């Protein structure tokens, strides 16, 4: 029959004495087993041999746990840093594209502004809002109209040359007929020979130079190899932005 715990008498003094006696016995055994010249007794060596792996295991577990914890923290930090870097790369890529676009716009506008300063007459800079060059009737819609001073028959140019003329204006918009339009006709003359003609759009992205006298010495000049000599000019001494592409097609009778 088991004795209740409360019934067992507690004798800490007796236990203390027993432990002390045990320690005395162990110490006496240790002193007897010490060899000459040895710093450790056999008991100490045995204890160290038995318990030596335990600190190693504890140290390995501790260092492994520490490494795993720090590795986990580093991984979390790396994931967060990677996410931030990806966002930054996307933002910088967008900024780079925007800056490249702005740089191109700046160059183009700077060239256009410098070009507009070449003219002594009043000019207005406008932006195309619609471009219709697919059909036979070539036209461009500008974002400026009569409120900006635009009027019908105003000439429209850019830094590359003549574009067309204004054919319709509203308060805030205007329509420009391109020189390649099939209904467009511009009086021109050939620079070298001073022969006059009419430049008509062919509706296909090019133009034809008509009404050049058959006796005009244009052969040998209206070739791609000599564009400066064969540049076509607007009548009244004003130049157009056209350069002949090919030679005489057919002599008029």
Partner 1 sequence: MTITVKPAVDFSSVEEVIVLHTRKIPSEVVRYAP
- Which residues within the stretch 110-129 sit at the binding site for partner 1 (CB under 8 A)? 111-112, 114-116, 118-128
The one-character DSSP state at 117 is T
**Segment contacting partner 1 (CB under 8 A): 20-28, 53-61, 68-76, 212-220?**
212-220
Nearer CB in complex with partner 1: 96/208: 208
Stretch that binds partner 1, among 19-27, 65-73, 87-95, 156-164 (CB under 8 A): 156-164
Within positions 177 to 206, which residues make up the interface with partner 1, using CB under 8 A?
Answer: 178-180, 197, 199, 205-206
Nearest partner of 237 among 198, 180, 186, 191, judged by Cα: 191
For tokens 């994931």, name the residue: 79
Closest approach, Cβ 118 to partner 1, in A, equals 4
Stretch that binds partner 1, among 22-30, 32-40, 84-92, 209-217 (CB under 8 A): 209-217
Which two structure tokens, joined as six digits, stand for 47?
């204890």
Residues 71-100 that bind partner 1 (CB under 8 A): none
Rounded Cα distance between 118 and 198, Å, is 26
For partner 1, the closer of residues 53 and 205 by Cβ is: 205
**Residue labelled with tokens 């716009």:** 105
**Among 82, 214, 217, 220, which residue sits at the site for partner 1 (rule: CB under 8 A)?**
214
CA angle 236, 176, 143 (to 5 degrees): 130
* Euclidean distance between CA atoms 64 and 240, whole angstroms: 83
CB of 225 to partner 1, least distance (A): 14
CB of 83 to partner 1, least distance (A): 38
Contact 163, 119 (CB under 8 A): no
Footprint on residues 218-237 left by partner 1 (CB under 8 A): 218, 222, 231-234, 236-237
Which of 154, 168, 182, 193 forms a contact with partner 1 (CB under 8 A)? 154
CA distance 252 to 207: 17
Q: Which of residues 34-73 bind partner 1 (CB under 8 A)?
A: none
Q: Residue 145: which of 126, 132, 117 has the closest Cα?
A: 126
For partner 1, the closer CB: 71 or 227: 227
Interface pick for partner 1 out of 47, 141, 157, 168 (rule CB under 8 A)? 157
Q: Pick from 151, 170, 171, 172: which binds partner 1 (CB under 8 A)?
A: 151
Contact assessment for residue 156 and residue 149, using Cβ atoms and an 8 Å cutoff: no
Residue range at the interface with partner 1 (CB under 8 A); choices 2-10, 34-42, 56-64, 211-219: 211-219
Residues ≥6 apart with Cβ < 8 Å to 201: 138, 178, 179, 180, 181, 182, 183, 184, 185, 207
Burial of 217 (0-12, 13-18, 19+ CB in 10 A): exposed
Number of residues that bind partner 1 (CB under 8 A): 80
Half-sphere exposure of 229 (CA within 13 A, CB side): 12
């Amino acid at each position: 029959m088991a004795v209740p715990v409360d019934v067992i008498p507690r004798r800490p003094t007796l236990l203390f004495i027993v432990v002390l006696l045990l320690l005395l016995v162990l110490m006496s055994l240790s002193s007897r087993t010490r060899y000459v010249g040895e710093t450790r007794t056999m008991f100490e060596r045995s204890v160290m041999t038995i318990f030596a792996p335990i600190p190693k295991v504890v140290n390995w577990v501790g260092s492994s746990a520490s490494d795993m914890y720090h590795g986990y923290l580093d991984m979390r930090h790396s994931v967060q840093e990677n996410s931030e870097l990806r966002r930054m790369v996307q933002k910088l890529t967008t900024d780079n594209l925007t800056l490249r676009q702005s740089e191109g716009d700046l160059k183009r506008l700077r060239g256009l502004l410098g070009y507009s300063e070449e003219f002594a007459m009043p000019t207005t800079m406008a932006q195309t809002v619609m471009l219709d060059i697919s059909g036979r009737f070539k036209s461009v819609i500008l974002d400026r109209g009569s409120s900006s001073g635009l009027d019908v028959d105003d000439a429209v140019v850019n830094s590359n040359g003549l574009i067309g003329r204004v054919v319709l204006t509203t308060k805030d918009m205007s329509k420009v007929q391109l020189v390649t339009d099939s209904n467009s006709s511009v009086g021109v003359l050939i620079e070298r020979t001073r022969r006059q003609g009419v430049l008509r759009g062919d509706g296909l992205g090019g133009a034809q130079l008509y009404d050049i006298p058959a006796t005009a010495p244009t052969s040998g000049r209206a070739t791609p190899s000599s564009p400066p000599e064969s540049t076509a000019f607007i009548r009244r001494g004003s130049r157009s932005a056209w350069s002949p592409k090919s030679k005489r097609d057919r002599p008029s009778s």
